[in-house]
Structure 1
Amino acid sequence: MKVELSIPNKLVRPWVECYWNVEFDNGEHVKNETILPNGKVEMIFALEGNYRVMNRKTHNMKYAWMSGIHHEPLEIQYKGKSNLIGIRFYPHGLFPFFRFPIHETVNQVENLESIWGVFQEEMYHSIHTAKDSSQIYAMLDSYLIRKISESKTKQLHVLTTIINRIRNEPTISIPDLASNLGFTQRHFNRLFKDHTGVNPKLLSQIYRFEKAFSYLFNYSNEEVADLILSLGYYDQSHFNKEFKRFSGMTPGEYKEKAVYSNNFL
Protein backbone atom coordinates (compact mmCIF):
# COMPACT_ATOMS: atom_id res chain seq x y z
CA MET A 1 0.00 0.00 0.00
CA LYS A 2 1.18 3.51 -0.85
CA VAL A 3 0.10 6.41 1.37
CA GLU A 4 1.28 9.96 0.66
CA LEU A 5 0.38 13.31 2.20
CA SER A 6 1.13 16.77 0.85
CA ILE A 7 0.72 20.27 2.32
CA PRO A 8 -1.28 22.61 0.06
CA ASN A 9 -0.35 26.06 -1.21
CA LYS A 10 -0.47 28.79 1.45
CA LEU A 11 -3.46 30.42 -0.26
CA VAL A 12 -5.67 27.37 0.35
CA ARG A 13 -3.99 26.17 3.54
CA PRO A 14 -6.48 27.98 5.83
CA TRP A 15 -9.24 25.78 4.39
CA VAL A 16 -7.47 22.56 3.38
CA GLU A 17 -5.63 20.36 5.88
CA CYS A 18 -3.79 18.27 3.28
CA TYR A 19 -3.84 16.47 -0.05
CA TRP A 20 -3.39 12.72 -0.02
CA ASN A 21 -2.81 9.79 -2.36
CA VAL A 22 -3.55 6.16 -1.49
CA GLU A 23 -2.86 3.18 -3.76
CA PHE A 24 -3.56 -0.48 -2.94
CA ASP A 25 -4.88 -3.71 -4.40
CA ASN A 26 -7.59 -5.60 -2.54
CA GLY A 27 -7.78 -8.34 -5.16
CA GLU A 28 -11.14 -9.84 -6.08
CA HIS A 29 -12.21 -10.01 -2.45
CA VAL A 30 -15.03 -7.54 -1.72
CA LYS A 31 -14.10 -5.28 1.18
CA ASN A 32 -16.72 -3.72 3.44
CA GLU A 33 -15.42 -0.88 5.57
CA THR A 34 -16.94 1.30 8.28
CA ILE A 35 -15.77 4.91 8.43
CA LEU A 36 -16.52 6.45 11.81
CA PRO A 37 -17.33 10.14 12.39
CA ASN A 38 -14.14 12.20 12.79
CA GLY A 39 -15.01 15.78 11.83
CA LYS A 40 -13.19 15.53 8.49
CA VAL A 41 -14.50 16.60 5.08
CA GLU A 42 -13.12 14.81 2.03
CA MET A 43 -13.18 15.40 -1.73
CA ILE A 44 -11.99 12.26 -3.49
CA PHE A 45 -10.94 11.52 -7.07
CA ALA A 46 -10.77 7.83 -8.02
CA LEU A 47 -8.10 7.45 -10.71
CA GLU A 48 -8.67 3.72 -10.33
CA GLY A 49 -11.21 1.81 -8.28
CA ASN A 50 -14.90 1.02 -7.94
CA TYR A 51 -16.62 2.27 -4.80
CA ARG A 52 -20.15 1.87 -3.49
CA VAL A 53 -21.73 3.59 -0.50
CA MET A 54 -24.05 1.19 1.32
CA ASN A 55 -25.98 3.41 3.74
CA ARG A 56 -26.48 6.81 2.12
CA LYS A 57 -28.77 8.31 -0.54
CA THR A 58 -26.01 8.27 -3.17
CA HIS A 59 -24.81 4.70 -3.69
CA ASN A 60 -22.65 4.33 -6.80
CA MET A 61 -19.70 6.69 -6.79
CA LYS A 62 -18.36 7.80 -10.17
CA TYR A 63 -14.96 9.41 -10.69
CA ALA A 64 -15.12 12.04 -7.98
CA TRP A 65 -17.21 12.66 -4.90
CA MET A 66 -17.45 14.74 -1.75
CA SER A 67 -18.10 13.41 1.73
CA GLY A 68 -19.23 15.99 4.29
CA ILE A 69 -19.01 15.93 8.08
CA HIS A 70 -20.67 12.76 9.35
CA HIS A 71 -22.23 12.07 12.72
CA GLU A 72 -23.29 8.56 11.71
CA PRO A 73 -21.06 5.68 10.54
CA LEU A 74 -20.46 5.48 6.78
CA GLU A 75 -20.44 2.04 5.15
CA ILE A 76 -18.50 1.62 1.89
CA GLN A 77 -17.73 -1.36 -0.33
CA TYR A 78 -14.96 -1.87 -2.88
CA LYS A 79 -12.67 -4.44 -4.49
CA GLY A 80 -9.71 -4.63 -6.83
CA LYS A 81 -7.11 -1.94 -7.40
CA SER A 82 -7.55 1.57 -6.01
CA ASN A 83 -5.71 4.80 -6.72
CA LEU A 84 -7.34 7.65 -4.84
CA ILE A 85 -6.45 11.35 -4.70
CA GLY A 86 -8.03 13.26 -1.84
CA ILE A 87 -8.49 16.81 -0.59
CA ARG A 88 -9.04 16.90 3.17
CA PHE A 89 -10.83 20.08 4.22
CA TYR A 90 -11.09 21.48 7.72
CA PRO A 91 -14.63 21.46 9.17
CA HIS A 92 -15.08 25.07 7.98
CA GLY A 93 -13.15 24.47 4.76
CA LEU A 94 -15.94 24.00 2.20
CA PHE A 95 -17.56 27.38 2.85
CA PRO A 96 -15.45 29.59 0.49
CA PHE A 97 -15.67 27.13 -2.43
CA PHE A 98 -19.41 26.48 -2.74
CA ARG A 99 -22.56 28.55 -3.19
CA PHE A 100 -25.09 26.22 -1.56
CA PRO A 101 -25.73 25.93 2.22
CA ILE A 102 -22.99 23.78 3.81
CA HIS A 103 -25.46 21.98 6.07
CA GLU A 104 -26.65 20.14 2.94
CA THR A 105 -23.35 18.20 2.93
CA VAL A 106 -23.72 16.83 6.48
CA ASN A 107 -24.06 13.02 6.54
CA GLN A 108 -23.98 13.05 2.73
CA VAL A 109 -21.78 11.60 0.01
CA GLU A 110 -22.40 13.32 -3.33
CA ASN A 111 -20.94 12.82 -6.78
CA LEU A 112 -18.88 15.94 -7.48
CA GLU A 113 -20.29 16.10 -11.00
CA SER A 114 -23.69 17.10 -9.60
CA ILE A 115 -22.05 19.98 -7.67
CA TRP A 116 -19.33 21.35 -9.97
CA GLY A 117 -20.44 19.99 -13.36
CA VAL A 118 -18.00 20.86 -16.16
CA PHE A 119 -15.46 22.22 -13.66
CA GLN A 120 -15.27 18.77 -12.03
CA GLU A 121 -14.75 17.15 -15.45
CA GLU A 122 -11.90 19.55 -16.16
CA MET A 123 -10.30 18.79 -12.78
CA TYR A 124 -10.60 15.04 -13.17
CA HIS A 125 -9.20 15.00 -16.71
CA SER A 126 -6.19 17.10 -15.66
CA ILE A 127 -5.49 14.95 -12.61
CA HIS A 128 -5.89 11.72 -14.56
CA THR A 129 -3.38 12.78 -17.21
CA ALA A 130 -0.78 14.22 -14.79
CA LYS A 131 2.63 12.59 -14.86
CA ASP A 132 3.06 12.24 -11.07
CA SER A 133 1.48 13.11 -7.72
CA SER A 134 3.47 16.32 -7.27
CA GLN A 135 1.96 17.66 -10.49
CA ILE A 136 -1.48 16.59 -9.28
CA TYR A 137 -1.09 18.53 -6.03
CA ALA A 138 0.00 21.63 -7.94
CA MET A 139 -3.09 21.29 -10.12
CA LEU A 140 -5.34 20.99 -7.07
CA ASP A 141 -3.83 24.20 -5.68
CA SER A 142 -4.57 25.98 -8.93
CA TYR A 143 -8.15 24.74 -9.22
CA LEU A 144 -9.04 25.52 -5.62
CA ILE A 145 -7.54 29.01 -5.79
CA ARG A 146 -9.77 29.67 -8.79
CA LYS A 147 -12.84 28.66 -6.74
CA ILE A 148 -12.23 30.69 -3.56
CA SER A 149 -14.81 33.39 -2.98
CA GLU A 150 -13.03 36.21 -1.16
CA SER A 151 -16.36 37.52 0.16
CA LYS A 152 -16.75 34.27 2.14
CA THR A 153 -13.38 34.31 3.90
CA LYS A 154 -14.03 37.16 6.36
CA GLN A 155 -14.66 34.97 9.41
CA LEU A 156 -11.59 32.75 8.97
CA HIS A 157 -9.78 33.85 12.13
CA VAL A 158 -12.72 33.41 14.47
CA LEU A 159 -13.70 30.05 12.90
CA THR A 160 -10.20 28.61 13.23
CA THR A 161 -10.02 29.85 16.83
CA ILE A 162 -13.32 28.17 17.70
CA ILE A 163 -12.54 24.88 15.97
CA ASN A 164 -9.04 24.62 17.43
CA ARG A 165 -10.43 25.18 20.92
CA ILE A 166 -13.13 22.56 20.42
CA ARG A 167 -10.69 20.03 18.93
CA ASN A 168 -8.15 20.49 21.72
CA GLU A 169 -10.76 20.75 24.50
CA PRO A 170 -13.84 18.74 23.45
CA THR A 171 -15.31 19.16 26.95
CA ILE A 172 -15.20 22.97 26.74
CA SER A 173 -18.41 24.85 27.60
CA ILE A 174 -19.85 26.16 24.34
CA PRO A 175 -21.77 29.04 26.04
CA ASP A 176 -18.55 30.10 27.82
CA LEU A 177 -16.59 29.94 24.56
CA ALA A 178 -19.21 32.08 22.80
CA SER A 179 -19.20 34.62 25.64
CA ASN A 180 -15.38 34.80 25.72
CA LEU A 181 -15.36 35.61 22.00
CA GLY A 182 -18.02 38.29 22.40
CA PHE A 183 -20.92 36.46 20.76
CA THR A 184 -24.46 35.78 21.88
CA GLN A 185 -25.21 32.06 21.94
CA ARG A 186 -27.64 32.41 19.04
CA HIS A 187 -25.22 34.33 16.80
CA PHE A 188 -22.37 31.97 17.70
CA ASN A 189 -24.37 28.88 16.72
CA ARG A 190 -25.65 30.45 13.49
CA LEU A 191 -22.16 31.56 12.40
CA PHE A 192 -20.72 28.14 13.15
CA LYS A 193 -23.45 26.21 11.37
CA ASP A 194 -23.28 28.47 8.30
CA HIS A 195 -19.58 27.63 7.89
CA THR A 196 -19.46 23.97 8.98
CA GLY A 197 -23.00 22.67 8.55
CA VAL A 198 -23.22 21.51 12.17
CA ASN A 199 -23.56 23.24 15.53
CA PRO A 200 -20.49 23.57 17.79
CA LYS A 201 -21.86 21.16 20.40
CA LEU A 202 -22.20 18.37 17.84
CA LEU A 203 -18.67 18.92 16.52
CA SER A 204 -17.29 18.80 20.05
CA GLN A 205 -19.13 15.49 20.59
CA ILE A 206 -17.64 14.13 17.35
CA TYR A 207 -14.11 15.10 18.43
CA ARG A 208 -14.73 13.55 21.85
CA PHE A 209 -15.96 10.35 20.18
CA GLU A 210 -12.87 10.29 17.94
CA LYS A 211 -10.63 10.39 21.02
CA ALA A 212 -12.76 7.70 22.66
CA PHE A 213 -12.47 5.15 19.86
CA SER A 214 -8.71 5.72 19.63
CA TYR A 215 -8.50 4.99 23.38
CA LEU A 216 -10.48 1.78 22.88
CA PHE A 217 -8.04 0.66 20.21
CA ASN A 218 -4.89 1.51 22.16
CA TYR A 219 -5.73 0.79 25.80
CA SER A 220 -7.12 -2.01 27.96
CA ASN A 221 -10.73 -1.92 29.15
CA GLU A 222 -9.56 -0.98 32.65
CA GLU A 223 -7.53 1.97 31.36
CA VAL A 224 -10.38 3.14 29.11
CA ALA A 225 -12.77 3.23 32.08
CA ASP A 226 -10.59 5.93 33.65
CA LEU A 227 -9.85 7.76 30.39
CA ILE A 228 -13.49 8.25 29.36
CA LEU A 229 -14.15 10.30 32.48
CA SER A 230 -11.45 12.74 31.34
CA LEU A 231 -13.41 13.21 28.10
CA GLY A 232 -16.44 14.47 29.99
CA TYR A 233 -18.68 11.41 29.88
CA TYR A 234 -20.73 11.25 33.06
CA ASP A 235 -20.42 7.49 33.48
CA GLN A 236 -20.14 4.22 31.57
CA SER A 237 -23.80 4.32 30.57
CA HIS A 238 -23.44 7.80 29.05
CA PHE A 239 -20.32 6.68 27.20
CA ASN A 240 -22.00 3.52 25.84
CA LYS A 241 -25.06 5.45 24.64
CA GLU A 242 -23.10 8.17 22.83
CA PHE A 243 -20.63 5.68 21.36
CA LYS A 244 -23.45 3.65 19.81
CA ARG A 245 -25.08 6.84 18.52
CA PHE A 246 -21.99 7.71 16.47
CA SER A 247 -20.76 4.24 15.51
CA GLY A 248 -23.80 1.96 15.47
CA MET A 249 -21.82 -0.38 17.75
CA THR A 250 -21.23 -0.83 21.44
CA PRO A 251 -17.68 -0.03 22.62
CA GLY A 252 -17.07 -3.76 23.03
CA GLU A 253 -18.24 -4.55 19.49
CA TYR A 254 -16.05 -1.78 18.10
CA LYS A 255 -12.97 -2.94 20.02
CA GLU A 256 -13.39 -6.51 18.80
CA LYS A 257 -13.73 -5.42 15.15
CA ALA A 258 -10.93 -2.85 15.33
CA VAL A 259 -8.42 -5.23 16.91
CA TYR A 260 -9.34 -7.93 14.39
CA SER A 261 -8.88 -5.49 11.48
CA ASN A 262 -5.78 -3.95 13.09
CA ASN A 263 -7.06 -0.45 12.41
CA PHE A 264 -9.48 2.16 13.71
CA LEU A 265 -12.11 1.20 11.09
Structure 2
Amino acid sequence: MPNTFQYTSVAPEKELSIFIESIGMFGNFSSSEKEVVVLPDGRIDLFFMFNAEGQFKVLLMGLETEPEKRIAPAGMSAYALSFTPLGMEYIMQTSIADILNSARELPDNFWGNRKEHFTDLETFKNFVMEKIGEHLPAKVDERKLKLFEMIYASNGELSVAELSGKTGWSSRQMNRYFNAKFGLSLKAYCDILRFRTSLAHIAVGKLFPELDFSDQSHFIKEIKKYSGVLPKDLSKNKDDRFVLLSLLKER
Protein backbone atom coordinates (compact mmCIF):
# COMPACT_ATOMS: atom_id res chain seq x y z
CA MET A 1 0.00 0.00 0.00
CA PRO A 2 1.44 3.43 -0.95
CA ASN A 3 3.03 5.42 1.86
CA THR A 4 0.90 8.50 1.21
CA PHE A 5 -2.31 10.33 1.98
CA GLN A 6 -4.70 9.29 -0.76
CA TYR A 7 -8.09 10.45 -1.98
CA THR A 8 -10.19 9.12 -4.82
CA SER A 9 -13.77 9.79 -5.82
CA VAL A 10 -16.40 9.10 -8.45
CA ALA A 11 -19.27 11.26 -9.65
CA PRO A 12 -22.87 10.14 -9.19
CA GLU A 13 -25.24 9.55 -12.07
CA LYS A 14 -26.10 12.84 -13.78
CA GLU A 15 -29.71 12.83 -12.63
CA LEU A 16 -28.53 12.79 -9.01
CA SER A 17 -26.08 15.68 -9.36
CA ILE A 18 -28.56 18.14 -7.82
CA PHE A 19 -28.29 16.11 -4.60
CA ILE A 20 -24.86 14.45 -4.65
CA GLU A 21 -21.48 15.94 -5.61
CA SER A 22 -19.25 12.90 -5.23
CA ILE A 23 -18.69 9.54 -3.59
CA GLY A 24 -15.17 8.94 -2.38
CA MET A 25 -12.66 7.42 -0.01
CA PHE A 26 -9.48 8.71 1.56
CA GLY A 27 -6.87 7.60 4.02
CA ASN A 28 -3.48 8.19 5.53
CA PHE A 29 -1.65 5.03 4.56
CA SER A 30 1.67 6.15 6.03
CA SER A 31 3.34 5.41 9.35
CA SER A 32 2.99 8.99 10.65
CA GLU A 33 0.19 11.50 11.07
CA LYS A 34 -0.39 14.13 8.40
CA GLU A 35 -1.58 17.69 8.84
CA VAL A 36 -4.15 18.75 6.27
CA VAL A 37 -6.08 21.97 5.79
CA VAL A 38 -9.77 21.67 4.95
CA LEU A 39 -10.97 24.51 2.72
CA PRO A 40 -14.56 25.72 2.35
CA ASP A 41 -16.04 24.25 -0.84
CA GLY A 42 -19.83 24.35 -0.43
CA ARG A 43 -20.21 20.60 0.06
CA ILE A 44 -21.64 18.75 3.05
CA ASP A 45 -19.81 15.52 3.82
CA LEU A 46 -21.09 12.34 5.43
CA PHE A 47 -18.05 10.39 6.68
CA PHE A 48 -17.82 6.72 7.61
CA MET A 49 -14.47 6.69 9.43
CA PHE A 50 -12.05 4.02 10.67
CA ASN A 51 -8.93 4.54 12.75
CA ALA A 52 -5.81 2.35 12.80
CA GLU A 53 -7.32 0.21 15.57
CA GLY A 54 -10.47 -0.42 13.55
CA GLN A 55 -12.71 1.82 15.64
CA PHE A 56 -15.59 3.24 13.61
CA LYS A 57 -17.77 6.35 13.66
CA VAL A 58 -20.14 8.21 11.37
CA LEU A 59 -19.85 12.01 11.12
CA LEU A 60 -21.98 14.57 9.32
CA MET A 61 -19.84 17.64 8.61
CA GLY A 62 -21.47 21.05 8.35
CA LEU A 63 -20.53 23.68 5.80
CA GLU A 64 -17.20 25.42 6.33
CA THR A 65 -16.72 29.18 6.12
CA GLU A 66 -13.05 29.22 7.12
CA PRO A 67 -9.97 27.02 6.73
CA GLU A 68 -9.46 24.37 9.38
CA LYS A 69 -6.31 22.44 10.21
CA ARG A 70 -6.94 18.76 10.91
CA ILE A 71 -4.68 15.86 11.76
CA ALA A 72 -5.10 12.63 9.77
CA PRO A 73 -3.69 9.93 12.09
CA ALA A 74 -1.54 7.20 10.62
CA GLY A 75 -3.65 4.29 9.46
CA MET A 76 -6.96 6.16 9.32
CA SER A 77 -9.34 5.75 6.42
CA ALA A 78 -12.81 7.01 5.56
CA TYR A 79 -15.54 6.74 2.97
CA ALA A 80 -17.34 9.95 2.10
CA LEU A 81 -20.65 10.88 0.55
CA SER A 82 -20.61 14.58 -0.43
CA PHE A 83 -24.00 16.28 -0.61
CA THR A 84 -25.16 19.52 -2.16
CA PRO A 85 -27.37 21.67 0.08
CA LEU A 86 -30.43 20.28 -1.74
CA GLY A 87 -29.18 16.77 -1.07
CA MET A 88 -28.91 17.57 2.62
CA GLU A 89 -32.45 18.92 2.66
CA TYR A 90 -34.15 16.26 0.55
CA ILE A 91 -32.06 13.09 1.05
CA MET A 92 -30.79 13.51 4.62
CA GLN A 93 -33.89 15.55 5.55
CA THR A 94 -32.15 17.57 8.21
CA SER A 95 -30.96 21.10 8.93
CA ILE A 96 -27.23 21.64 9.40
CA ALA A 97 -27.52 25.22 10.65
CA ASP A 98 -26.31 24.14 14.08
CA ILE A 99 -23.09 22.55 12.81
CA LEU A 100 -21.58 25.35 10.74
CA ASN A 101 -17.79 24.79 10.90
CA SER A 102 -18.36 21.71 13.05
CA ALA A 103 -19.82 18.20 12.91
CA ARG A 104 -22.58 15.97 14.23
CA GLU A 105 -21.90 12.38 15.24
CA LEU A 106 -24.50 9.94 13.94
CA PRO A 107 -25.28 6.41 15.17
CA ASP A 108 -22.65 3.82 14.17
CA ASN A 109 -25.36 1.82 12.39
CA PHE A 110 -26.57 4.81 10.34
CA TRP A 111 -28.42 3.64 7.21
CA GLY A 112 -27.88 0.05 8.39
CA ASN A 113 -24.25 0.07 7.26
CA ARG A 114 -22.20 -3.08 7.78
CA LYS A 115 -18.50 -3.87 7.53
CA GLU A 116 -18.90 -5.43 4.09
CA HIS A 117 -20.12 -2.08 2.70
CA PHE A 118 -16.56 -0.72 3.05
CA THR A 119 -14.61 -3.30 1.07
CA ASP A 120 -13.73 -0.81 -1.67
CA LEU A 121 -15.09 2.32 -3.33
CA GLU A 122 -17.37 0.41 -5.71
CA THR A 123 -18.96 -1.52 -2.85
CA PHE A 124 -19.47 1.69 -0.89
CA LYS A 125 -20.97 3.42 -3.91
CA ASN A 126 -23.48 0.60 -4.40
CA PHE A 127 -24.45 0.83 -0.73
CA VAL A 128 -25.03 4.60 -0.67
CA MET A 129 -26.75 4.63 -4.08
CA GLU A 130 -29.27 2.14 -2.74
CA LYS A 131 -29.89 4.31 0.31
CA ILE A 132 -30.16 7.48 -1.77
CA GLY A 133 -32.72 5.73 -3.97
CA GLU A 134 -34.81 4.94 -0.90
CA HIS A 135 -34.83 8.61 0.10
CA LEU A 136 -35.36 10.32 -3.25
CA PRO A 137 -38.17 12.88 -3.02
CA ALA A 138 -41.22 12.68 -5.25
CA LYS A 139 -40.92 16.41 -5.92
CA VAL A 140 -38.47 19.25 -5.32
CA ASP A 141 -39.49 22.89 -4.90
CA GLU A 142 -39.04 24.42 -8.36
CA ARG A 143 -37.79 27.71 -6.93
CA LYS A 144 -35.02 25.92 -5.06
CA LEU A 145 -34.09 23.90 -8.14
CA LYS A 146 -33.82 27.03 -10.24
CA LEU A 147 -31.93 28.89 -7.52
CA PHE A 148 -29.24 26.24 -7.15
CA GLU A 149 -28.94 25.67 -10.89
CA MET A 150 -28.15 29.38 -11.32
CA ILE A 151 -25.80 29.50 -8.35
CA TYR A 152 -23.74 26.59 -9.72
CA ALA A 153 -23.88 27.71 -13.36
CA SER A 154 -22.58 31.16 -12.40
CA ASN A 155 -19.93 29.81 -9.97
CA GLY A 156 -21.52 31.97 -7.30
CA GLU A 157 -21.02 35.19 -9.25
CA LEU A 158 -24.67 36.28 -9.46
CA SER A 159 -25.74 38.74 -6.79
CA VAL A 160 -28.57 38.00 -4.38
CA ALA A 161 -30.64 40.68 -6.13
CA GLU A 162 -30.07 39.01 -9.51
CA LEU A 163 -30.99 35.60 -8.12
CA SER A 164 -34.12 37.08 -6.59
CA GLY A 165 -35.17 38.62 -9.87
CA LYS A 166 -34.66 35.39 -11.79
CA THR A 167 -36.43 33.13 -9.28
CA GLY A 168 -39.26 35.37 -8.12
CA TRP A 169 -38.13 34.60 -4.57
CA SER A 170 -37.41 37.64 -2.40
CA SER A 171 -33.91 38.19 -1.03
CA ARG A 172 -35.31 38.05 2.48
CA GLN A 173 -37.00 34.70 1.86
CA MET A 174 -33.86 33.20 0.30
CA ASN A 175 -31.66 34.32 3.17
CA ARG A 176 -34.16 33.05 5.74
CA TYR A 177 -34.11 29.67 3.96
CA PHE A 178 -30.30 29.49 3.82
CA ASN A 179 -29.80 30.53 7.43
CA ALA A 180 -32.45 28.13 8.73
CA LYS A 181 -31.29 25.11 6.72
CA PHE A 182 -27.55 25.63 6.30
CA GLY A 183 -26.46 28.18 8.90
CA LEU A 184 -25.22 30.95 6.60
CA SER A 185 -26.56 33.58 4.21
CA LEU A 186 -27.04 33.06 0.48
CA LYS A 187 -24.29 35.59 -0.28
CA ALA A 188 -21.87 33.77 2.02
CA TYR A 189 -22.59 30.51 0.20
CA CYS A 190 -22.10 32.14 -3.21
CA ASP A 191 -18.79 33.64 -2.06
CA ILE A 192 -17.61 30.15 -1.04
CA LEU A 193 -18.49 28.77 -4.49
CA ARG A 194 -16.57 31.62 -6.14
CA PHE A 195 -13.58 30.81 -3.93
CA ARG A 196 -13.86 27.13 -4.83
CA THR A 197 -13.85 27.95 -8.53
CA SER A 198 -10.85 30.23 -8.05
CA LEU A 199 -8.91 27.29 -6.61
CA ALA A 200 -8.85 25.65 -10.03
CA HIS A 201 -7.19 28.79 -11.43
CA ILE A 202 -4.70 29.05 -8.54
CA ALA A 203 -3.84 25.35 -8.95
CA VAL A 204 -2.42 26.14 -12.41
CA GLY A 205 -0.60 29.30 -11.30
CA LYS A 206 -3.20 31.96 -12.17
CA LEU A 207 -2.79 34.33 -9.24
CA PHE A 208 -4.99 37.12 -10.55
CA PRO A 209 -8.80 37.22 -10.47
CA GLU A 210 -10.48 35.28 -13.26
CA LEU A 211 -13.93 35.76 -11.74
CA ASP A 212 -15.99 38.75 -10.62
CA PHE A 213 -13.79 40.21 -7.90
CA SER A 214 -13.72 44.02 -7.80
CA ASP A 215 -9.91 44.14 -8.08
CA GLN A 216 -6.68 42.31 -7.20
CA SER A 217 -6.84 43.49 -3.60
CA HIS A 218 -10.35 42.08 -3.18
CA PHE A 219 -9.25 38.80 -4.76
CA ILE A 220 -6.30 38.44 -2.37
CA LYS A 221 -8.48 39.32 0.62
CA GLU A 222 -11.11 36.71 -0.28
CA ILE A 223 -8.56 33.96 -0.97
CA LYS A 224 -6.86 34.61 2.36
CA LYS A 225 -10.21 34.68 4.15
CA TYR A 226 -11.11 31.17 3.00
CA SER A 227 -7.64 29.59 2.86
CA GLY A 228 -5.69 31.41 5.55
CA VAL A 229 -2.85 32.24 3.16
CA LEU A 230 -2.07 34.50 0.19
CA PRO A 231 -2.76 33.16 -3.34
CA LYS A 232 0.98 32.67 -4.05
CA ASP A 233 1.43 30.58 -0.90
CA LEU A 234 -1.73 28.61 -1.60
CA SER A 235 -0.41 27.84 -5.08
CA LYS A 236 2.84 26.46 -3.64
CA ASN A 237 0.79 24.13 -1.40
CA LYS A 238 3.74 23.17 0.79
CA ASP A 239 3.67 19.50 1.84
CA ASP A 240 0.37 19.07 -0.02
CA ARG A 241 -1.45 20.34 3.07
CA PHE A 242 -4.33 21.76 1.02
CA VAL A 243 -5.82 18.47 -0.13
CA LEU A 244 -8.50 20.07 -2.30
CA LEU A 245 -5.86 22.04 -4.22
CA SER A 246 -3.70 18.93 -4.65
CA LEU A 247 -6.64 17.10 -6.24
CA LEU A 248 -7.21 19.98 -8.67
CA LYS A 249 -3.53 19.92 -9.70
CA GLU A 250 -3.74 16.19 -10.38
CA ARG A 251 -6.62 16.76 -12.75
Q: Indicate how the Cα distance of structure 1 residues 237 and 31 shifts in structure 2: closer, same or farther if over 3 A, else same.
A: same
Aligned pair in 2 of structure 1 residues 9, 217: CA closer, same or farther (>3 Å)? closer
Q: For each residue in 1:37-64, what CA deviation from the matched residue of structure 2 results, as whole angstroms up to 9, or x when unmatched?
A: 11111101124548xxxxxxxxxx9522
Instruction: Tell me which of 56, 61, 67 is aligned to 2:61.
Output: 67
User: What does residue range 1-265 of structure 1 map to in structure 2 within 5 Å?
Assistant: 1=6, 3-5=8-10, 7=12, 14-23=18-27, 25-27=29-31, 29-49=32-52, 63-98=57-92, 100-113=94-107, 119-120=109-110, 122-123=112-113, 126=114, 128-130=115-117, 133-146=121-134, 150=137, 154-155=140-141, 157-169=142-154, 170-219=156-205, 223-225=206-208, 228=209, 230-256=210-236, 258=237, 260-261=239-240, 264=245
In 1, the alpha carbon distance for the partners of 2:158 and 2:12 equals 29
Consecutive unaligned residues in structure 2, runs of 5 or more: 1-5, 247-251
TM-score (norm 2): 0.78
SS of the aligned residue for 2:69 comes to strand
Report deviation, 1:6: 5.5
99 and 210 in structure 1: CA distance in 2 versus 1, 3 angstrom threshold:
closer
The farther-off stretch of 177-186 and 90-99 is: 90-99
Does the 8 A contact of 2:48 with 2:79 survive in 1? yes
Contact 1:17 1:88 in 2 (8 A): yes
Alpha-carbon distance, 1:218 to partner: 0.6
| Distance (whole Å) between structure 2 residues aligned to residue 201 and residue 2 of structure 1 | 30
Contact 1:93–1:196, Cα closer than 8 Å, also in 2: no
TM-score normalised by structure 1 residue count: 0.75
The letter for the 1-side match of 2:231 is P
What is the CA distance between 1:217 and its match in structure 2?
Answer: 2.2
Give the paired residue count: 236
Q: Secondary structure at the match of 1:204?
A: helix
What secondary structure sits across from 1:92 in the alignment?
helix
Change (3 A) 1:8 1:80: farther
Please say if residues 46 and 80 of structure 2, whose CA atoms lie closer than 8 Å, have aligned partners that are also in contact.
yes
Verify the 8 A CA contact 1:6 1:137 in the aligned structure 2.
no
1:56-90 Cα shifts (integer Å, max 9, x gaps): xxxxx952211121111122112323432111101
TM-aligned CA distance change 1:3 to 1:176, over 3 Å: closer
Structure-2 change in CA distance of 1:132 and 1:206 (3 Å): closer
* Runs of 4+ residues deviating >6 angstroms: none
CA RMSD of aligned residues (A): 3.0
Query: What amino acid is aligned across from residue 18 of structure 1 in structure 2?
Result: S
Q: CA deviation at 1:134?
A: 3.5
Distance change >3 Å, CA 47–CA 253, structure 1 → 2: same
1:24 & 1:40 partners in 2: Cα distance? 22
Q: Tell me, in whole angstroms, the C-alpha distance in 2 between the residues paired with 1:9 and 1:188.
A: 26
User: Residue 3 of structure 2 aligns with which residue?
Assistant: none
The verdict on how the C-alpha distance between 1:254 and 1:133 changes in structure 2, with shifts beyond 3 A counting, is closer
Describe the superposition over 1:97-148 as per-residue Cα deviations: whole angstroms up to 9, x where unpaired: 45653311321122223xxxx652832xx1x134554443333233344556
Using the aligned pairs only, state the percent identity. 17
Cα distance, 1:33 vs. partner? 0.2
3-state DSSP class of the match of 2:129? helix
